[in-house]
Amino acid sequence: MKFSYVCMALLLAGSARGTFAAEVSSPDGNIKVNFSVVEGRPTYEMSYKGKPVILPSTLGLELIGSTDLMDKFEEKNVTYSEFDETWQPVWGENKEIRNHYREMFVELAQPPHGRFMNIRFRVYDDGMGLRYEFPQQQYLDYFPVREEHTQFAMAGDHTAWWIAGDYDTQEYDYTESRLSEIRGLMKSAICSNASQTQFSPTGVQTSLQMKTDDGLYINIHEAALVNYSCMHLNLDDKNMVFESWLTPDAQGVKAYVQTPDHTPWRTVMVSDDARDMLASNLILNLNEPCAYEDTSWIKPVKYVGVWWEMIGGGKQWSYTYDLPSVKLDNLDYSKTKCHGEHPANTENVKRYIDFAAEHGFDQVLVEGWNVGWEDWFGKSKDYVFDFVTPYPDFDIDYLNEYAHSKGVRLMMHHETSGSVRNYERHMEAAYNLMDKYGYNAVKSGYVGNMIPRGEHHYGQWLNNHYLYAVTEAAKHKIMVNAHEAVRPTGLCRTYPNLIGNESARGTEYEAFAGNKPSHTTVLPFTRLQGGPMDYTPGIFEMDMKKINPNSAGHVNSTLARQLALYVTMYSPLQMAADIPENYNRFMDAFQFIKDVAVDWDESRYLEAEPGQYIVAARKAKGKDEWYVGCTAGEKGHTSDLKLDFLDKGRKYEAVIYADAKDAHYLDNPQAYTITRKTVTDKSRLKLAAAPGGGYAISIKPLDL
């Protein structure tokens, strides 16, 4: 329902300086956004409960080969409206989402050049989005963008949880620092990743979480990134002003726009309660409704996989990995013997299928099933994988039949090696192969430098590719979980077969270098704002030497915290990532992973502080069962939980999987206790999480 409301325009409230011509506030009145044209430049500011969030900041775009859309603007018209509707996501943290905002639509003209540009603001109770709109017009039809200059002027030297600006990876640990310290810390923030394409000593990625000295939580991100380049933020650290910095293409062009068109939303979330940042649906709400009529084939997935054996165990994706110079085109695999340990073989995959069937998992991911791996490593040529030819020791026909006979599916794996034209050439055949054998989900990946060379993972061309892979998959009723793709911006609302993404530093890094113990207390504030993450939790053996004597890795988490991540890291796609042998050693704890839901009716954030702790409670879809998870940073955390979300008067059994008193992520991570308690909505639970620890609780009714 959309209706006009009276009449902010008449108030012309203006800012303290009296320069602002238009104002819109959030439905609850706490957030105010003002707009004006100041000396020809579009300018806005934003406040929350009277405190400045964004100081006056200018808007505009610099173009290539034609006059910029930066200045000489005049305001033509401002229209206000309000929108309030509730929608049901196909899967999600809640079964219903309210989309309630007030809108201010500003129409601008650039008279000397006969051009028009509009700016649309939507203001919610927990933040706002703005975007540029370019109507179809005579003197602005097709234009390359040199840079977008959207400013976000901060009101102080805030604390931020940031990762370095990079056009190709987000796989970094977060650094917590003042904005003024970013420049000095940049070197240590990037050193862990060789592929970094650094563009500025003060460049950071979104979603960027900040906290002000007077207790405001501010988050900057973007929503609905479609046919445009991903936005980074470059900080002027003298004045504490962020400015957008788009990802370039191989020619240095930042975006190509053809009118009528618009940019993605630039979003600023704000609250004085950290939990509101986690509970916010602003990014989803700024995306378009579901584009598919039939979504009955889209189903949340809990899976295991032939994966950690390679990532953590040092085994091989490639069947012929130690042959020095193999050419895919003329290698006869049927005459080649397997070199080294290749876990994607029929017998081993069968073992995983049995394990999945016994413990109620939906799918088994198998990586390294297809030819091409030996051709990729170290070569980066553009024709690598064909996505349809299995290695000779992987019996695709038999294994799919065997899996289906046990009520399990195999999950497809497409590592593109960044060779995107090659992937697009083979995509239809690859999806057809999946249809033929009954796969309905693919984990894809974009490791390495992009081919065509010079293109970046987060550029417009690649962003269009990731979405193309998703919409083509939908034609085959296939769900997509893309790793190393651009970080999500809420597109899963429109295309819910985008069931997950990695696009951040996942559990795989625990096997390589370790993640900071605080990592999972930051990700839900940042990376998860745009959509679910395939974080691949559930590692029970923290000493990686136990499965690979050559490994230097250590998983910086307690075992109890690994359970909690199924609740705190929201995703409709969850992997139990460890090898079956490690689960068999701790079957009592594994029970939580078996029980926990992957789709929810309701979610509540009970306690939260970025970098320190997150406690979430979620009610399973269609069931009166709750699951609670706590993840804690270096200092651990003590909780005092009220279970007042339970049905009044009903008795439940709570099974509490907690860190033992002497647990510690470094030297005693596997020390946990399991306690059973009868609880009601009146119960309070005092629980302690060890350093790098956590707890997980399942709560089921006793009176079924």
**Contact (Cβ atoms closer than 8 angstroms) between residue 558 and residue 692:** yes
Taking alpha carbons only, the member of 626, 628, 560 closest to residue 589 is 560
- Out of 508, 510, 541, 625, the active site residue is 508
Where would I find the H helices in 553-615?
559-568, 580-585, 587-595
Partner in contact with 367, chosen from ligand NOJ, Ca ion, none, beta carbon below 5 to 8 Å by kind: ligand NOJ
Contact flags string 384-403 toward ligand NOJ, x per CB under 6 A: --------------------
Measured from the CB atom, the residue of 447 and 702 that comes closer to ligand NOJ is 447
| From ligand NOJ, Ca ion, none, interface partner of 394 (C-beta below 5 to 8 A by class) | none
Nearest to 529 by CA among 177, 267, 240, 244: 267
CB of 699 to ligand NOJ, least distance (A): 32
Q: 496-525: which residues touch ligand NOJ (CB under 6 A)?
A: 502, 508
Query: Residue 263's closest CA among 151, 415, 133, 155?
Result: 133
What residues have CB less than 8 Å from 187, skipping those under 6 apart? none
Nearest distance from residue 51's CB to ligand NOJ, in Å?
40
CA distances from 443 to 129, 150, 338, 480, 567 (A): 31, 34, 25, 6, 21
Q: How many residues bind ligand NOJ (CB under 6 A)?
A: 9
x/- map, 583-622, ligand NOJ, by CB under 6 A? ----------------------------------------
Among residues 584, 659, 594, the alpha carbon closest in space to that of 625 is found at 594
Our finding on whether 11 is near ligand NOJ (CB under 6 A) is no
Is 82 annotated as catalytic? no
**Contacting ligand NOJ (CB under 6 A), which of 305, 445, 553, 692?**
445
Binding mask 470-489 for ligand NOJ (x = CB under 6 A): -------------x------
DSSP state of 402: H
Of residues 307 through 346, those in contact with ligand NOJ by CB under 6 A are: 307, 311
Q: Min. distance of Cβ 562 from ligand NOJ in angstroms?
A: 17
Smallest gap from Cβ 353 to ligand NOJ, in A, equals: 19
Residue 361 makes CB contacts below 8 A (sequence gap 6+) with 302, 303, 304, 355, 408, 576
Minimum distance, C-beta of residue 265 to Ca ion, in the bound complex (Å): 27
Confirm or reject binding of residue 147 to ligand NOJ (CB under 6 A). Answer: no
Pick the closer one to ligand NOJ by CB: 500 or 693.
500
Closest distance of CB 156 from ligand NOJ, Å:
37
- The beta strand positions in 431-502, using DSSP E, are 441-445, 479-482, 498-501
Facing residues of 571 across strands?
none
For residue 305, state whether it binds ligand NOJ (rule: CB under 6 A).
no
In the bound complex, which residue of the shown chain has the CB atom lying closest to ligand NOJ?
415
State yes or no: residue 168 binds ligand NOJ (CB under 6 A).
no
CB of 596 to ligand NOJ, least distance (A): 21
Secondary structure in 3-state letters for 167-219: CCCCCCCCEEEEHHHHHHHHHHHHCCCCCCCCCCCCEECCCEEEECCCCCEEE
C-beta of 502 vs 541, nearer to ligand NOJ: 502
- Contacts by residues 466-474 (CB-CB < 8 Å, ≥ 24 positions apart): 467/226, 467/491, 467/495, 468/424, 469/423, 469/427, 469/444, 470/495, 470/497, 470/498, 471/291, 471/495, 472/427, 472/428, 472/431, 473/431, 473/442, 473/497, 474/292
List residues binding Ca ion (CB under 5 A): 483, 502
Nearer to Ca ion, 483 or 604 (CB): 483
Residues, the chain = 704
> Under the criterion CB under 6 A, does residue 531 sit at the interface with ligand NOJ?
no
Closer to Ca ion at the Cβ: 307 or 369? 307
Residue 239: how many other CB atoms lie within 10 Å = 10
Q: Does 367 bind ligand NOJ (CB under 6 A)?
A: yes
Name the residues annotated as catalytic. 508
Binding site for ligand NOJ (CB under 6 A): 307, 311, 367, 415, 445, 447, 483, 502, 508
